[in-house]
Amino acid sequence: MKKRIFIMIAFLSAFILVACSGESPSGGEEVRNNSQDMAMVEDAEIGYTGDDGQGDSEEDGGYVDESVDVSDENDISAVDRKIIYTAYLQIEVKDYEQAVDEISLQATKIGGYVVESSMSSTSKEVIRGQLTVRIPQEQFQMFIEQVKNVSNRVVTSSIQGQDVTEEYIDLESRLKSKRIVESRLQTFMENAEKTEDLLAISKDLAEVQEEIESIIGRMNYLENRSDLATVTINLTEKNVEISSELNTWERTKEQFKKSINFLLTTFSTFIVFLMGNLPVLIFIGILGFIIYFIAKKRIKGRVKKDE
pLDDT tens digits for 79-96? 578 999 999 999 999 888
Q: Give every CB contact of residue 46 below 8 A, 6+ residues apart in sequence.
A: none
Q: Residue 305: pLDDT band by 50, 70, 90 thresholds?
A: low
What is this structure's pTM? 0.50
Q: What is the mean pLDDT of the chain?
A: 75
* DSSP symbol at 122: S
Q: What is the mean pLDDT of residues 226-244?
A: 78
Please report which residue ranges of the chain form alpha helices under DSSP H.
Answer: 2-21, 25-46, 75-78, 96-109, 140-150, 165-191, 195-227, 248-276, 278-306
Query: pLDDT tens across 245-292, in order?
Result: 546 777 788 888 888 888 888 888 888 888 888 888 888 888 888 888
For 148-184, the pLDDT digits (tens) are: 998 888 999 999 999 999 999 999 999 999 999 999 9
What does the angle CA 272 – CA 273 – CA 277 come to, to the nearest 5 degrees?
115
At residue 283, the 3 state secondary structure works out as helix
d(CA 91, CA 154): 4
Distance, in Å, from the CA atom of 40 to the CA atom of 34, rounded to the nearest integer, reads 10
CA distance 185 to 117: 49
pLDDT for 34 beyond 60 = no
The reported pLDDT for the residue numbered 108 is 92
